[in-house]
Amino acid sequence: MTIARSNLVSGLDADCVADAPIGPLTWYGIGGRADMLVSPHTIKTAAEIVRRCRHAEVPIRILGGGANLLVDDDGVDGVVLRLDQPCFRAIEFNRTGSVTAARIGGGVDLFGLVTELARRGLQGFEHMAGIPGTVGGAVRMNAGGSGGDIASVLDAVEVILLDGTTRTFNTDALAFGYRESTLPEGIVTSAVLHLEEGDPLEIRQNVKTFFAAKKAGQPMADHSAGCAFRNPVDTSTGSLMSAGKIIDEAGLKRLAHGGASVSDRHANFIVVQPGASSRDVQSLMATIRSMVAQATGLQLEREVVIWSRHSHA
């Protein structure tokens, strides 16, 4: 698809790059290019771009921190909207009385946010320590870990819907589950968190504890996109099963395809070496799913999102 730049960003406050390399903007650091990469400077501009793309029937994707994303080697069609400007990275606290709430921009990095809240002596977000990505992506997939998920501290979400309108959703009107929510498709521009004031030293220690646990059990120093597969549900008990343990018990640790391999530290992480391709990762994921299904009858579902040309799922 050839995109007319002037039709989509003309007169708007946005940076625009055609045929832009976006694979390097992900945690994997591999993959192809986008027909157009657009970085809006205001939320109003972002909403207008969404409206124009819908009118022109141009596909649009949202790029946050790229932590849970794999871009196909052939790249993607349409527009990739990058949330890297200050309007998406603002952090605001209530100005009077005890600090009990904060409005966090959708493009705010989770690592930095955990540190900032601890520095201010605000508790309730420590369990997100060591989880990569941005607030918008975390809200969209209800990211979390052993200590809980982001929904547990979420009061409201502000979203640009796919028709370009902006709405605020209170969390009591939404449903959040394991790595999912009923939040409508669109751009998470900000989220309101409920927090409590506490002892900064105690909060920092809690952050260190959560981060150390992740560092001990996950290959955080390697190039990966976090957990490759969702933890499946045990149909007999309704509880979650460990995808990493299932893959490990199937004998797949260190299984490799090209420059991609199953981590020897955590079997639900696929790590890449220099020279790896996106297709290496995709082929390895397919092999893992097939071999686990053969060994256990379980059908693993991807947690990593794959962007490919002409596929907009």
Q: Using an 8 Å Cβ cutoff, are 225 and 302 in contact? A: no
Rounded Cα gap, residues 300 and 159, in angstroms: 30
Annotated active-site residue 53? The verdict is no
Indicate the pairing of strand 69-71 with strand 305-307: parallel
Catalytic residue selected from 140, 227, 289, 309: 227
Catalytic residue selected from 5, 120, 179, 204: 179
Classify residue 254 as exposed, middle or buried by CB count within 10 Å of its CB (0-12, 13-18, 19+).
exposed
DSSP states of 149-203: EGGGGEEEEEEEETTS-EEEEEGGGS-EETTEE-PPSEEEEEEEEE-EE--HHHH
Annotated active-site residue 179? The verdict is yes
Annotated active-site residue 87? The verdict is no
Q: How many CA atoms lie within 13 A of 103 on its CB side?
A: 12
CB atoms within 10 A of CB 36: 25
Residues taking part in catalysis: 179, 227, 303
